[in-house]
Amino acid sequence: MPEPTLSEKVTHVAGEVGRSGNGLAMLSFVGGIATLAGIAALVITSGRMGMRAVFIGAAVCILNFLVATWATWILLPVLVATGLVSLAWGYVTFKQVMKHNKE
């Protein structure tokens, strides 16, 4: 079996990304729109405005890539952290209720 050519590899990767990224399509859409709006603002205002929109759009596109690539590595620490915060909050609330009942 011959090894696939570079164009076949790129086509395969693009197809896989297209199929797997449907859940995150909104981030790409918003990032693209923000970037285009920032570029338009840069052109219309001769470079005085629009850099913030370009940076936000690029950041959202990068965020989309990071979440799509490392979703499990991002999700697990967030879940653990929110669980710890919830436990601590519950403990403090329980302590306050018990203190109030004693008084």
Give the chain's count of helices (H) and strands (E).
4, 0
**pTM passes above 0.85:** no
Query: Contact, 56 vs 85, CB < 8 A?
Result: no
pLDDT, one tens digit per residue, over 53-95 is: 888 888 888 877 877 777 767 777 877 888 899 999 999 999 9
Q: What are the two backbone dihedrals, phi and then psi, of residue 6, each rounded to the nearest 5 degrees?
A: -60, -40
Domain ranges for the chain, please list them: 1-69, 71-103
| Residue of higher predicted confidence among 84 and 15 | 84
* pLDDT reported for residue 16: 65
Distance between CA atoms of 94 and 24, rounded to whole angstroms? 39
Name the pLDDT band for 103 (thresholds 50, 70, 90). Answer: confident
